[in-house]
A and B are shown apart, each in its own frame.
Chain A
Amino acid sequence: MNAAKDKLIVEGLRLRADRQAIDESIGAGEIVGLAGLDGNGQERFLEMLAGLVTPAGGSIGCRDDAGRTHAINSFRRAVSHGVAYLPRDRRASGIFPALSILDNFAMATVTRDCVAGLISYRRRRERYDHYRERLSIVAPHPREPITTLSGGNQQKVLLARALALQPGVLLLNDPTRGVDIATRKILYEVFRELSNEGMALVILSTEIEESLHLCDRVLVFRDFELASRLSGEEMSADRIIATMFGRDS
């Protein structure tokens, strides 16, 4: 890990006030997995990185290309400093069922379609087409409601929405949940490409195989503490499961 290329710097972060603090840094081009039994703090950790949950202690900083560090203390600040978050439950907190595919895509970046203060639908369409191609979104006319798409394609539109922010850090909360195999493969490929381009990715996954397949290293959480960091040879399904259940030491 090269300190100059760190994107996210976590210092003394506490998931709960009475738990051990976490120091961690996530570098450019890294794919970091978060694992743990459900409700052991890994989701809260991700939400803290996104600025959605206020930490019980410590700080999170995001370093820009010029090397300055900005504290992340709200979701809005996180977004403005290039940290994008893809929520877990796309039906409850992701898509807008009443809106079109195009509007669903553009929602996080509406101001980028403006020409002299007014929205240019052509520009929005062009932006969408770029990501449609990149993520191979299979969709009818972009003016159709988003609910006409399959779950996998809805997820791709949400990913496109996050990518349209052109973030330096992408936080993914169980991105392949309820997604078919073909779409999964495409998503994995895209994640690798993004990391090759220098984006830092943090992926919370409920499937250990997925973390092993995709991530450079895995952070395993137990009881709202960081139980261990696994990478290289140590990264195996057995090891992760043992850590999750606290049988590792």
Chain B
Amino acid sequence: MSERSATTGSGYRLARAVQRSVFSSAGFAPLLFVILLAINVWLNPARFAPAAWGTLLGLAAPLIGAAVASTPAFLGGRGGIDISVGPLMGFVNAIIVLVFIQMLGVSSPFVIVPAALLVGVAGGVVNAFLATILRIQPIVATLGTYLVLVGATLTILPAPTGTAPQWLSQLAGTWSILPLGCVFLVWWAICRTPYYDQLMAVGSDDRAAYTAGVPVTKVRFLSFVITGLFSGAAGLMLTALIGSADPAVGPTYTLIAISAVALGGVSLAGGRGSVIGAAIGAIDIFLLQSALTYLNVSTFILQISYGAILVLAIVLTALQDRYMEQRAQRAGS
């Protein structure tokens, strides 16, 4: 009986599964994306013309990068969070411009890109060690690294300085798709490895994961390292966008990235959500910012609207979850 219904209804089931996976993985962010994009294009067609897409994406890239970077730590569950993403981006920015370009005079992408990623990974390893080996609560552990990184950045770089090489500036303009594309490609590859399944399992229920033979600590450790790696990439995108070293910009990304992640349907309790959802959430925030700036709304109102939309989206996602759960239970019993 089940065989037959599985074959005749497979097309329908597949369509429903795809629809559900987009919705359950990104909440209401895609819907919001369509609405906000329409409003933006209507308000300011020139800014959203195809010729300007490169620059536009370059503007949004650091936020998208920060949101994507924050996601793996959340997915690992049990309070997994990395609030040091923003300061780490700022630290990478300072190291690249100040140390590599100004002090050492190196500007080759083959040195700078690996260096940025390496600094990111190092930050991630420190967070991972504190949160999973020493078992300090992740929010406290990464608050520690947050403060250390902010202080370290300000010590080596008290005021904005320096210029980014041309190849890097182009990564925020014509070629802005390149760094983001690489990050998504890396994540896509991770999703195809056993690690991704294990990460989702650990985030979903770590006790069940342990009895299923998943190396829980190792999986969580790596989630912080991946967050660090992507923070390094986001630091590059930030450097490309601002074209100099600025100690004040990085830390502002932490909270807004967490909002983007939540808006994008990533469960802050772990085990649910996707990097794509986080990216869509980040684009939503960027579009909202863009529309309200065009309307000359004050930045305080901007903050209020971020908060309001965030809360609304999360409430709607929770309601949708409850509905799905009830339906699943009805189907199960």
User: When the two chains form the complex, which single residue of A52, A113, A140, A161 contacts B212, counting CB atoms closer than 8 Å?
Assistant: A161
Closest residue of chain A to B203, judged by CB?
Answer: A98
Given contacts A97-B205, A98-B200, A119-B194, 16 further A-B contacts (CB under 8 A): A75-B213, A92-B208, A96-B271, A97-B204, A98-B204, A98-B271, A99-B200, A106-B197, A107-B198, A107-B209, A107-B214, A111-B194, A141-B6, A141-B14, A147-B329, A165-B213
**Is B298 close to A, CB under 8 A?**
no
Bits for B238-276, please: 1 = Cβ < 8 Å to A, else 0.
000000000000000000000000000000000110000
**Number of contacting residues on B, CB 8 A?**
34
Are A147 and B332 within 8 A (Cβ)?
yes
A165 to B198, CA, bound (A): 16
Are A119 and B333 within 8 A (Cβ)?
no
**Is B166 close to A, CB under 8 A?**
no
Most buried by A among B6, B189, B209, B211: B211
A92 to B213, CA, bound (A): 16
Are A140 and B211 within 8 A (Cβ)?
no
What class of interface size applies to chain A in its complex with B? 35 or more
Q: Which chain A residues border B2 with CB–CB below 8 Å?
A: 138-140
The 3 closest A-B pairs by CB, nearest first: A110-B194, A118-B192, A96-B204
Are B211 and A87 within 8 A (Cβ)?
yes
Interface residues of B (CB under 8 A from A): 2, 5-6, 10, 13-14, 17, 189, 192-194, 197-198, 200-201, 204-205, 207-215, 271-272, 325, 328-329, 331-333
**Is A149 close to B, CB under 8 A?**
yes
Closest residue of chain B to A78, judged by CB?
Answer: B213
A92 to B2, CA, bound (A): 28
Q: Which chain A residues border B212 with CB–CB below 8 Å?
A: 107-108, 161
Tell me the smallest distance from the CB of A153 to a CB of chain B, in Å.
Answer: 9
Are B204 and A141 within 8 A (Cβ)?
no
